[in-house]
Each structure stands twice: as C-alpha cells, then as structure tokens.
Structure 1
Amino acid sequence: MSAWHDPDRTVIDAFLDKSQFRPGSRPTYRWFLRSFEEVALRHPAVDRQMLDDWLGGMATRWKLSTLLNQVCIVDRFLDYLAQNELIPGNPVAELRRQHNIKQNKPIWRALSSPNPDEALADLHRPAPYGSILGEFMRDHVTLMRNRGYQYEAQAYWLLRFDRFLQSHPELADEPLETMLSHWAAAKPTRNHAAECQKLGRILTKARHRLDPNIPPKRFNPRPEREVAREHRRPHIFSLADIRHMLEVARSYPSPHAQLRPLTLYTMILLAYCAGLRRSEIARLDLGDVDLRSGTITIRETKFYKTRILPQSDSVMTELRVYLDARRRAGAPQDLQSGLFWQSHFNGHHTPETVTTMITNVMRRAEFKPPSGRTGPRVHDLRHSMVVNRILEWYRSGINPQDRLHFLSTYLGHRDINSTLVYITVTQDLLQEASERFRAVGVPCLNGEALS
C-alpha cells in the first residue's frame, strides 16, 4: 500500500511543473523524488519509519553532505503533499515543532546520524516562554507589538533569558535582580553585558507599569557605551567606488542565469540611489515601479511606513532597461510578481539572498576579502547615499540642516534622530563643513559682523 494515492504516478511531475524549476534541474529532482516514492510505496504512511528507511538507502549511494544539500527538495515535496491532502502532514515539520527547531535541516541531519533518537534529543530546545517569567514576558511583547512596535530584537533577548531560566530552575524563587545577575555572569563578553543591561531595563519598566509601587531601577550605562565604542564604522563608498561596483555587477559571470548581471546592477543602483534596505529591495513588486511618474513605491516596511520615492531620469532609464530584459527573460508580468523575479520563494528573493548576491559583487570588486565578515556591508550603501547627498548639498551651497527632515522622510525613518546615525564624518565632509565654518564664522571672529 502506497503512502499516498497516486496510481498513475503523476504527483511528482505535477509538483515539478508547479515549482517551475530550471529545465536543467528537473531530471535530477525527478530522480531524487522517484527514489523517495519507491520507498513510500512500501509503507502505509509517510512517517518516521519511512524516512529512516529512505535515508538508510540513500546513505549507501550519496555522501552525507551531498544528501543534506538535496533534502530541501523532499521538504518542499512533503509540504506539497500535505497542502493537497495526499498525506496528513509533513513529518519533518512535526518533528521540528516537537523539538522547537526553526529549520528542517537539523532534523534531517539528526535522522541521518547513527543514533537518530539521541541526536534529536540533543536538538531539543525549551518551549518559548516556558519559564517562571514566561507569561509575563510574552504579555509584554504582545503589548508592545499591539502598540505598533516591531519589537524583534527585544523579543529575541527575552527568549534567550527565558531559555536560561528554564535551564536553571533553582532561580525560580529568586527576585528578578538575582536572575539578571546570574544571566549577566553566564557569558563574560561585553555584548552580553550590554544586552543584560537593556534586558533589565525592559523588565523593570514592564514590572513598574503593572505595579507602580515597584520603583524603577537605575542601570550602569558603561557596558552599552563600551559596545557602542567598538561598533564597526560604516564604509562610505565614493562615487567612483559605486561606478566600479556597477561595472562589476554588469559583467558578473552567470552562464545559467542570463538576467542575473542586470539584476545585480539594478539592485545595487536602487540600494544606493534610493537608499533602500535589503528587505525593501527583496519585497519590491513589478507594480511598485511607475515609469510615467518616475517613482518607486516602498510598501509597509520598517515602522509600518509606505513611501513614494521620486528617482532621477538616469535611474528610471536603467529601470526601463531592466524591465525590458526581465520581460524578454519570460518573467511574469502581473503587478504582484517580484520586481527582481526568480522561480523560487513565490517569485521574490529573500533579504538574505539579496545580501549574498550584492556581497558577492563587493568581493569580486575587491571591496571585501574572498571570505569572512570583514569589509563593507550591503547596508553601507545606504550610509553612503546619506553622506554623499549631504556632501553634494554642501558643495551646492545648501544648508544640510534645512534638508535633513526631507532626507529622513525619504529614507523611511521614524524621526530625524535615526537619520543622524547615518551621518559618518568623512574627510571630504569634514573639509566642506570646515569651509562652511570659515566662510561664516571667521568674519564673526574678526568682528566684521559687529561693524
């Protein structure tokens, strides 16, 4: 009896057709899924036993590293079967939920190990907000998000603290200050010390909100200052650097994806000229580009803001070239399809993929070393846009202070203070500011303003 009903054996082909894989990849994926189907035919259900039998057979023909790189196609196939009600559910996703694991690949690695039960037990993570303070912290995160805050980093700190408390049940009856001191002593790094200070401030404020009789506590600001002092300084690209990067992107070698060089070129162009975040680049739809008005629309991004950004004629010309190439490449033309289209992930690149693609261009342009995290980041293109715009204002005789609120709105910032963080003092910017001071301030110092 087969694990799913498919007497004509057409389910795999239907899945491959819907997924729109590249023609060259389809034979490999079909063979891989057929091997999975052959094992499924011998089992009444797609369950842990069936997965163990299939992995055992594949391990004799494939290296473990190669096998783990290919199981993603089986993950997607299992989701397809579950969505079409051919199987009750994805057993790998169920194991992930049982052990509180975010990704499927560690589950596959554990199932492929010599002792799967022990490996799965090692993967197990405590349930979110399962500690003595779990309900209090969950309610606080819900409250802040209901008020309009994204509250991602803070929720991550609270979850880490929650896992720590679950692993130290002896602290359950201790006061909050004792719990925080033990958490601060768990790691000796400066980043952890600063995180503990922020976490303590969040929890004491939340507790004071529930009970005003509990006085707020003053925390030592030194750890946060030390971390801020060590924070990596943004790399400011010059106009020549941007031109070089665009040339490298346009000539990027991509024999199997003809549209990729122009995609990279346009991504970098918008990241710099429009100052877009990587998530904003990834979420752009075809309908967000208005060639008639010369604008692009950024919808519901950070701080839940939507903004319409006018672009220069040269940028719109390059966008028109990209859209023509995109149409010739056979990309869908409906307005909800991804501007930077690809056949996976609902036609959109993920923000992580955007980072990887632009970073590869930076490495090829020799702005970053061949490997590692050192060197410029993708977000530094946004920093460079701000600094170079202010530099252009100085050179045009415009007072930047009169324009900063416009720049803040253009970047999608909550207030002007967020924009000030992007102003990195470069040598050119310092020179222009000094010249501005010399022209205005020197006559005052010489007493000319009083005459």
Structure 2
Amino acid sequence: MTIWPDPERLLIARYLASLGLRSPNSRTYYKQALNSFQDVAERYAELGKDALLAWLQASSAVWAVTTRLHRTRIVDRFLDYLLETGAIERNPVVVLRDACNIKQCMPVWRALASRDPDGALAELHQPRSFGGVLGEIMAEHVVLMRNRGYKYTAQPVWLLRFDRFLQLNPALQDQPIGVMLEHWSAAKKTRNHANECEKLKRLLGKILRHRDPSIPPRRPDPHPGKEVAKQWRKPHIYTPADVRHMLDIARSYPSPRAPLRPLSIYTMLLLAYCAGLRRSEVARLDLGDVDLQGGTITIRLTKFYKTRILPLPDTVMAELQAYIDARRRVGASQDPRSGLFWHEQRSARYTKQAVAWLLVDVIRRAGLKPPQGRTGPRLHDLRHSMVVNRILEWYRTGINPQDRLPFLATYLGHRDINSTLVYITVTQNLLHYANERFRVVGAPCLGLGREVQP
C-alpha cells in the first residue's frame, strides 16, 4: 500500500538522516530537491510519468538545465529508498527504463526533460534481448552451454548483436539464415566485424546441428581471423629496470586523503608482475588468501574456473607482510573474507576497474606510456613480461625452458601449454639465449662443425 507522499514529510527526514551527509550545503540541496518533488507529487493521484514531467517543468524555472539533471539523481535515489521501504508500489523512472529496455535511469530523465518527451522516450527504446525470429533457439543454446559448465560470455554478445540487427530489420524475418548473415556481414566493413561474423556463422551452424544432426558441418574460413591478427599490438616487454622504476613511482604515489593507497598500489604492482596475476585476480584477492607461514597466495575460481596456489619468493612475502601490517594499523577489516586491497575512504575492496586505472596511471607516470590515449604499453603486458623474463632467467641458469613450460602454464592458470606460448614474445635477448643453447646442445647432435670425412 502506498504511504507516500506523507503530509508530515517524515520519510524525507528519515532518508536524509540515513545518508549521514556531513556538509550542511549538501543537506540543504537534498532537502530542497525532495521537498519540491513532493510538492508536485501531492497534486497527482498516481506517481507516474505525468508527475515526473510536472516536477521537471516546475523546477526549470528555478534551476539551470545541468543543475536540474543533477537534482534528478537525488530524486532517483530517494525513489529507490521509498521502494525498498515499501512506501511506494513502483518506481516510475524504473518503469519507464524497463519499458525502453535500457539499463540506466539518466537517459530517461534527459528524455523527460526534452521538448518532446514522448518522441525522446521512443528513440530510447531498445529491442528486447533474444526477441527476434531466432531468439528462442539462441537463448536455449546459451542456457544449454552454461548448464554444461561453460562461462560462455563472448558468444551471447555476438548472438545478441545479431538478434538486435534482425529486430531492427523486420524485412529479414522471413529470409533464410544465409541471407540474414549476408546482410549482417554487409552492415559494417571493419575487420573485427568480419571476424565476428565468421565466428557467428560457425556458432549458428553448431546450434542448428544440435537441433538437426543431419546438417553438414560448416568449413571455417581462417581469413578474417588472420586479418584481425595483423592489427594486434605486439606486447611490450618491461625490463627489470622498468619494473623497479614503476615500483618506486608507486611507493611515492600522491594520495594525501588515503595514506595507505601508495603501499596498496605498490603491492598490487608487485603481485601483478612477480605472480603474473590478471587485474581481476588482483582485485578478488581476500585477506585469507595470503598464507604468510607457507609463503603462498591462493587464486580462487578465476578464468576456466581454476583455483591455484602460488608459491612466492621470500622477498615478495616480506612485502606482503609489511602491507598487511600497515592495512591493520589503519583500521581495515581483519575478516579473512575481506578484500586484501582495502579502500580507506569506502571501506571496501578495490574493483578491477580501479586496480587497472591506478596501475596504468603508474605506467604513465613512469614515462612508459603517453599521458593520454590507449597507445603504448598495457597493464596486461606485465603478465607477458613475467613470462619472458622468467624464461630468460632459466636460460641464464642453464635450465631448459621447454621442461619448465608445463609448470609455468599451471602457475599462470592456463588450461594447457598452448595458451602459455602466446605469452612468449621473442625479444633480442631471448633469441640470443635460444641460439646459444642450440649452439651448445643442438649443434653437436647434428654433427655441425665437424670436418667432412672423404
């Protein structure tokens, strides 16, 4: 049962109290926005689109456009609060968002604040997921593969794009699948789109063969994949000196409001390089995953649903010990399930996006990457560098890297050695040591260098 708007406006007071706003100005802004919204809502029997339009119209005389859109965020969060507490039966903004089949509320507010709200809302409308003529069989296939234990994240994206294309082109609904795919292939001329279309053709062939085994398998075309591979950037291999320089930058990272952050970034970078961790693996580390006595860390259920326990050198474990001690001194949670890399201001773990942004910023500050843009060395190149530098160290100590590659694949969390081979970038140093090993070991086996006998 709807109990808002309430004449005494107690719900607004309770909501403001729950926010714990420190600034008096913030409390004033929130109160003004919510009281003006309730003034308008009280004039309507139902909290719907008309009430939202009336409030936006009334507030246009008081606030500038940018300020008014900012105040909609306040109203948005208040409506979520009312829905959670049962004060209203439905959130009108969420209703409009769901009707448009979009994920965010701000585009709905912008459409309502435009000169033609109905037309703007119509333009926001997106096709329903798997709502096309092939949507049912594609959705069933995704469910089937996930029930078999596959993550199956990339393939649904290809299928959804194709499904959306079919919904926006209803004239293709009655055409054969081959004609649909031809039009989809012609929709864009980029190399990536051509490669995705080739993968989609193979995937749809697999789906149709599941339903009718008499359909012959389709012969794959490797050409689109080769064309895409030509534009891939070659990994940048950081030298040990580069890594030391980045570690120095991380230790002195400017962060006056979060004193623990420089040491957190330093430890993130140390693990990303020394253990070859992915950014998501760094972000998901829990405090209980670090075994200081055993000198190991546990990486749980990452890519390919693998869990692995990684031994680390004593020097790295000493740095981890120092970070955990500093983490405890600033009051971080000591629950083993809490995030290892703890955010002081939010009292929560760093997300993988935050980890990536901070470490990339360190790379930029070290002068290895331009100040802006996506060009230059990447964060994932640390993982490539770990592999190459590890193999170089094996060559220097007289170890045959081929014997150690299965162990390296397990350490990196790969399914097999083929995935690890992708990370072996041939550098001048690596080529030199490989040639030297062939000269010492391989050449005598082939009889090279011996005098030819008559």
- Do they fold alike, i.e. is TM over 0.5? yes
SS of residue in 2 equivalent to 1:413: coil
Deviation at 1:442, TM superposition (A): 2.3
SS of residue in 2 equivalent to 1:41: helix
Deviation at 1:117, TM superposition (A): 2.9
Query: 1:276–1:382: 8 Å Cα contact kept in structure 2?
Result: yes
* Residues 8/406 of structure 1: CA separation in 2 closer, same or farther (3 Å cut): same
Query: 1:12–1:33: 8 Å Cα contact kept in structure 2?
Result: no
> Map of 1:210-359 to 2, 5 A cutoff?
210-342=211-343, 347-359=348-360
Query: 2:36–2:55: 8 Å Cα contact kept in structure 1?
Result: yes
Query: 1:295–1:311: 8 Å Cα contact kept in structure 2?
Result: yes
Distance (Å, rounded) in 2 between the aligned partners of 1:70 and 1:391: 58
SS of residue in 2 equivalent to 1:230: coil
Deviation at 1:94, TM superposition (A): 3.3
Structure 2 unpaired stretches of 5+:
none
Deviation at 1:264, TM superposition (A): 1.4
SS of residue in 1 equivalent to 2:340: coil
* Residues 376/107 of structure 1: CA separation in 2 closer, same or farther (3 Å cut): farther
Q: What do residues 22-71 of structure 1 show as CA deviations (whole Å, max 9, x unaligned)?
A: x6xx5565344323321243225764455445555666676655766786
Q: Which amino acid aligns with 2:174?
A: D
Deviation at 1:114, TM superposition (A): 3.7
Deviation at 1:447, TM superposition (A): 5.1
**In the alignment, what sits opposite 1:11?**
14
With 334-343 and 292-301 compared, the bigger mean Cα shift is at: 334-343
**In the alignment, what sits opposite 1:30?**
27
**In the alignment, what sits opposite 1:191?**
192
SS of residue in 1 equivalent to 2:10: coil
Structure 1 unpaired stretches of 5+:
none
Q: State which structure, 1 or 2, has the greater radius of gyration over its C-alpha atoms.
A: 2
With 85-94 and 333-342 compared, the bigger mean Cα shift is at: 85-94
Distance (Å, rounded) in 1 between the aligned partners of 2:33 and 2:431: 64
Deviation at 1:277, TM superposition (A): 1.2
Q: Which amino acid aligns with 1:121?
A: A
Percent of pairs with identical residues: 58
SS of residue in 2 equivalent to 1:246: helix
Q: Which amino acid aligns with 2:332?
A: A
Distance (Å, rounded) in 1 between the aligned partners of 2:169 and 2:62: 44
With normalisation by structure 1, the TM-score equals 0.89
* Residues 355/74 of structure 1: CA separation in 2 closer, same or farther (3 Å cut): farther
Query: 1:266–1:318: 8 Å Cα contact kept in structure 2?
Result: yes
Deviation at 1:200, TM superposition (A): 0.1
* Residues 149/394 of structure 1: CA separation in 2 closer, same or farther (3 Å cut): same
Distance (Å, rounded) in 2 between the aligned partners of 1:287 and 1:73: 38
* Residues 329/396 of structure 1: CA separation in 2 closer, same or farther (3 Å cut): same
**In the alignment, what sits opposite 1:39?**
36
Query: 2:15–2:81: 8 Å Cα contact kept in structure 1?
Result: no
With normalisation by structure 2, the TM-score equals 0.89
Q: What do residues 334-383 of structure 1 show as CA deviations (whole Å, max 9, x unaligned)?
A: 22222222378882332222221211111111222111111122211111
* Residues 448/235 of structure 1: CA separation in 2 closer, same or farther (3 Å cut): closer
Q: Which amino acid aligns with 2:110?
A: R
Deviation at 1:304, TM superposition (A): 1.3
Distance (Å, rounded) in 1 between the aligned partners of 2:396 and 2:175: 61
| Count of residue correspondences | 445
Query: 1:341–1:347: 8 Å Cα contact kept in structure 2?
Result: yes
SS of residue in 2 equivalent to 1:402: helix
With 87-96 and 63-72 compared, the bigger mean Cα shift is at: 63-72
